Amino acid sequence: MINRILTGGALVLLAGVLAGCGPGNKPVDQGTPNKVLNITVGTEPEDIDPHVVTGVPEHHIIVALTEGLVAEDPVDLHPVPGTAETWEVSEDGTVYTFHLRGNAKWTNGDPVTADDFVQSFKRILTPALASKYSYMLFVMKGAEDYSLGKLKDFSQVGARAIDERTLEITLNSPTPYFLSLLNHYTWFPVHIATVEKHGGMVKRGSGWTKPENFVSNGAFKLKSWKLGRKIVVEKNPDYWDAATTKLDEIHFYPIELETTQENAFRGGQLHNIYNLHIDKIATYKKEHPDELRIKPHLASYFYRFNTTRKPCDDVRVRKALAMSLDRGSITKNVTKGEQMPALFFTPPGVAGYTARARIEENVEKARQLLAEAGYPDGKGFPSLELLYNTTEGHRIIAEAIQQMWKKNLNINITLQNQEWKVYLDRQREMDYQISRAGWTGDYPDPNTFLDMWTSWSQQNQTGWARDDYDGLIRKAAATQDVEARLELFQQAEEILMDELPVLPIYIYTRVYALNPAVKNWHANVLDHHPWKHLDLEVKADE
């Protein structure tokens, strides 16, 4: 009797739980006709203060809220008028004069003025703020000295408000990519009065970026920010180009796990999968080709050699290691995302530049070089450790490379994985022999990939330095002629690929999925998708 009562009770309980929950309203089904985009850009943004943050998720949210002097064309990202309606460049290419539009407004109704930009540049360069990305402004005259505290008077820096709507920026040297650089959020304006009100100009995280305080000038304004849940931005009706804005709201969800992103996408909660898991690529190719996107990305996957430690201090060893890889097999069988095997460092086709230097994949020659270095058939080769940060994707690539070197050169290397911060610390302290790395371009120009190997760059971290290489990069920065400048980069990359302080492996692709209802989404190497142009369209047959 008791048994029956209890069993019955259990069944009733179970049925109750199930009946209580019918199919929910799916955010995507509701959002598409209502012009509400549900999207994930990976992690929770650290902040949305353009002068403090450094990440990619932050970028996606900040560009929805804030607009710089210029904006990006949705198709190929060439600079188009933003807050500045027109601009002129001086003959020598070093002085830019921007004319701000009269109807550019902050969300509190204030006009966007030239002085807002000057004060914003001053803020990010102020040493006390300690902005990690302030170096993005160093092309401007005096900016670097000011940020280092060597220059105290900001009026000496090359940013000047001629009148309320005219801004003059003076550069150190002609910088062909300057207008593209302006689309980096470090150049974006902040509403000075709001920043001042909440803790002042140089206090980070003062709370001015909270939804109740935040003032911005972009196509969208911040509606709510629930920590760990989502950030909601809504159309800004007072934006000067509000007629272009198609979407009413964008909901940014912080979902880190790739499999969770995929489940949310399949379950009708998201319009996109930010990163599609490697195991799912084949399935999507077969079953959902209309949703799958695989696009070239402005980023390199490579290994750093510590050129101050044995055995990688010997260029012959570095060359042997670089020549004995089969990169095509890695991208085909291991990474599987249509990545491009990299025989040079800079992703091809950036601002008209494709490196002519090539690493030769030649096992015979590699063996010969290794023998010349004193290790015939790998005999007597010292212990060599490959450092990578703990991630499944890096491990499988490292294992493939380990095998290739064993098979082709008869050398044994050990793999060591470290947690992210430990890995970064060891790389910075040069406490490694070979270390995995990746680099995403900050702006579409070869300079962002080549100036990191100069002797003064913080990103070098290989101990490698060459005067002639430094000289070429310096000379390129001062060269106005486009062809001559690219030629200097060609020569620099030839040196780099001859000396090989780095071992290029592949050029990244972005592998993601997008609901076909999302319109005006154009693939480009920076993976920027100016939000105001995006639209949602219900399919005709639905």
Partner 1 sequence: MLKFILRRILETIPVLLCVAAMTFFMCRLAPGGPFDEDKQVTAEVRELLNKQFNLDQPLHKQFIQYITHLPTLQSFKYPNRTVGEIISQKFPVSAKLGFFAMCIALGLGVLFGVIASLRPNTYIDYIPSSLAMIGICLPTFVMGPLLMLVFSLQLGWFPATGWGGFSGDQFFASDMVLPSVTLGFFYAAYISRLTRGGMLDILTQDYIRTAKAKGASGLRVILKHSLRGGLLPVISFMGPAVAGLIAGSFVIETIFAIPGLGQDFVKSAFNRDYTLVLGVVMFYATLIILLNLIVDILQVTLNPKLKFD
Query: Which residue in the block uniquely carries the two structure tokens 């060609």?
Result: 490
Residue 379 contacts partner 1 per CB under 8 A: no
Closer by beta carbon to partner 1, 133 or else 521: 133
The answer to whether 482 and 176 have CB atoms below 8 angstroms apart is yes
- Assigned token pair, 216: 């911005």
Residue 462 contacts partner 1 per CB under 8 A: no
Q: CB count, 10 Å around CB of 279?
A: 11
Q: What DSSP string describes 33-102?
A: HHTEEEEE-SSPPS---TTT---HHHHHHHHHH---SEEE-TTT--EEESSEEEEEE-TTS-EEEEEE-T
The beta strand positions in 281-337, using DSSP E, are: 292-305
- CA proximity to 249, closest of 36, 64, 533, 62: 36
Alpha-carbon gap, residue 421 to 359, rounded angstroms: 31
Alpha-carbon gap, residue 320 to 499, rounded angstroms: 12
- Shortest distance, CB of residue 154 to partner 1, whole angstroms? 17
Closer by beta carbon to partner 1, 457 or else 480: 457
Residue 445 DSSP class: S
364 CB burial (10 A radius; 0-12, 13-18, 19+): exposed
- Shortest distance, CB of residue 108 to partner 1, whole angstroms? 19
Collect all residues with Cβ–Cβ distance below 8 Å to 534 and sequence separation of at least 6: 37, 246, 247, 518, 519, 520, 521
Residue 102 contacts partner 1 per CB under 8 A: no
Site string for partner 1, 146-165 (x = CB under 8 A): --x-----------------
Closer by beta carbon to partner 1, 370 or else 507: 507
Residue 1 contacts partner 1 per CB under 8 A: yes
Number of residues lying near partner 1 (CB under 8 A): 72
- Stretch near partner 1 under the rule CB under 8 A, chosen from 61-69, 130-138, 399-407, 514-522: 130-138
Residue 428 contacts partner 1 per CB under 8 A: yes
From candidates 151, 351, 422, 477, binder to partner 1 by CB under 8 A: 422
- Shortest distance, CB of residue 67 to partner 1, whole angstroms? 21
Q: What DSSP string describes 477-535?
A: HT---HHHHHHHHHHHHHHHHHH-SEEEEEEEEEEEEE-TTEES----TT----GGG-E
- Shortest distance, CB of residue 44 to partner 1, whole angstroms? 8
From candidates 438, 481, 516, 519, binder to partner 1 by CB under 8 A: 438
Edge-to-edge order in the sheet of strand 36-40:
36-40, 249-253, 230-235, 220-226
- Shortest distance, CB of residue 362 to partner 1, whole angstroms? 32
From candidates 66, 180, 269, 335, binder to partner 1 by CB under 8 A: 269
From candidates 76, 196, 419, 498, binder to partner 1 by CB under 8 A: 419
- Shortest distance, CB of residue 352 to partner 1, whole angstroms? 25
- Stretch near partner 1 under the rule CB under 8 A, chosen from 64-72, 107-115, 261-269, 489-497: 261-269
- Shortest distance, CB of residue 2 to partner 1, whole angstroms? 5
Residues 10-49 that bind partner 1 (CB under 8 A): 10, 13, 17-18, 21-27, 30, 44, 46-47, 49
- Assigned token pair, 291: 């949703």
Residues 176-235 that bind partner 1 (CB under 8 A): 204-210, 226-230
Helix (H, G, I), strand (E, B) or coil at 234: strand
Residue 267 contacts partner 1 per CB under 8 A: yes
Residue 328 contacts partner 1 per CB under 8 A: no
- Shortest distance, CB of residue 251 to partner 1, whole angstroms? 9
